[in-house]
Amino acid sequence: MPTLKDVAAKAGVSLSTAGAAMRGEDIVKPATKERVLAAAKELGYSPNLSARFLKKGRTGAIAVMVPNIMHPYYTNLVYAVCQEADKHGLRTIIQQTGYTSASETDVLEQMASSTLCDGLILNASNVDDRHLRTLLGNHPAVLLNYMVDEPLFDNVQPAITRGVDLAFGYLQGRGYRHVAVIGARAFDPDDPDISRQNDGIQYAMNALIDSGMGYPDDFVDCNWSVGGGKDAAEELCRPIAQDNATHDDVAHDDVAHDGNVAYVAYDDNVHSDADGGTDARSGATDRVRRVDRYDAFYCMNDLIAYGLIRGLHEHGIRVPDDKAVFGHDGVIDDPFTIPSLSTVAVDYADMAHKAVDMLLEQINHPDGARKPRTTYAGCRLVIGESA
């Protein structure tokens, strides 16, 4: 098996120069580095990364910890972190933490107290940040999707505000007039969780109101999954009982447009039909549905959007011909669905790059005094067929 000494001899350099070239150090001239790398390739030499890390008292591994590795958002994130770690010659340990405080705490205690890895990149949403500090101590760690006013850890956040602005700016530019947020919940300013775990919901509802395309109660609360999206469609398409059908059950203003159909708020006796005519109230109340208020739906993630499109289809509502649907996350690159989804895509590679860079700085400079840093991943508008 070839050794570094063999590579140095073939390249005509000293052993220390060959080692520096293989490590990619800047002290080696580019031409010399290329000669050493070419010699290593020709001889079939690969550096012993484990030995190198052990000399430095390290494992050469980092851990990435997410609630559910099967969820497409976290699948994309884990893949991106693994790709970025590989660029630095690091192995990646993948840990699934679950969605409860107990499960997250259990995994964190094991990883922080072990010698399996040099640092952690984690998405922890159910453990208080001060409890996290107790669990992790001084172990190098970078948090993802960690939204607090005074962070205790280096962290990388998705560009929520920019993503929401892109989404509602696009919907407004397309001429949609009345939008509902799917996956949101009633905003309660006294709920402390709103400021931490549900910032995305708060930003979406604020953007909805600020854009003039909706009101505080224009939302459907549902599970953030495909099934949740289908449930939301069921709720939207459920007929409203006659004795509960008030002006607010149909529209907040006088007219809410749905494609070429105008749904006019009820007076005591009549309502509009699809042809613009009127029917006796007693004969058509079963046609009153929440879905008829809106011409577009903004979903808190792509999975909800896919489920909503399917659920609306089962009720004879076509997307985008009858209603528009917009997602958020960009969990699927290939537009294989019909219609393809309009969404805001998170730049997972950018998030991973920033997280690994922050973590390596902590690992390489363990005694460095610094304040916790916050940076933001990029995002981009993806224009599909659904909106």
Q: Is the model's pLDDT at 46 over the cut of 80?
A: no
In the chain, CATH 3.40.50.2300 covers 55-158+348-378, 160-345
Rounded Cα distance between 11 and 32, Å, is: 8
pLDDT at 288: 85
Helix, strand, coil percentages in the chain from 3-state DSSP, rounded to 5: 40, 15, 40
Q: Residue with structure tokens 């909805």?
A: 208
Write out the E strands in 145-197: 154-157, 179-182
- Better-predicted residue by pLDDT, 51 or 291: 291
Residues 304, 305, 307, 309, Cα dihedral to 10°: 160
Q: Class assignment of domain 4-47? A: mainly alpha
pLDDT at 265: 34
Alpha-carbon distance values, 264 to 217, 240, 257, 261 (Å):
19, 15, 9, 10
- Which residues are CB-neighbours of 383 under 8 A, at least 6 positions away? 170, 342
Mean pLDDT for the stretch of residues 256-282: 34
| 345 pLDDT tier (thresholds 50, 70, 90) | very high
What does DSSP say about strands 296-299 and 324-326: parallel, antiparallel, or unpaired?
parallel
Instruction: State the DSSP string of 335-371.
Output: --SSSPPBEEEE-HHHHHHHHHHHHHHHHH-TT----
- Mean pLDDT, the chain, integer: 82
pLDDT at 199: 78
Mean pLDDT for the stretch of residues 87-98: 91
pLDDT tens-digit readout, 165-193: 999 999 999 999 999 999 988 765 555 44
The interaxial angle of helices 15-22 and 30-43, nearest 10 deg, is 90
> Hey, which CATH number is domain 160-345, 2.30.110.10, 3.40.50.2300, 3.40.50.720, 3.30.470.20?
3.40.50.2300
CATH of domain 55-158+348-378: 3.40.50.2300
pLDDT at 4: 83
pLDDT tens-digit readout, 309-335: 999 999 999 999 999 999 999 998 877
- Dig out the tokens for 349 from the structure: 């590679």
pLDDT at 253: 44
Q: Tally the residues of the chain.
A: 387
This prediction has a pTM of 0.73
In the chain, CATH 1.10.260.40 covers 4-47
Q: With 0-12 CB in 10 A as exposed, 13-18 as middle and 19+ as buried, what is 354?
A: buried
| 139 pLDDT tier (thresholds 50, 70, 90) | confident
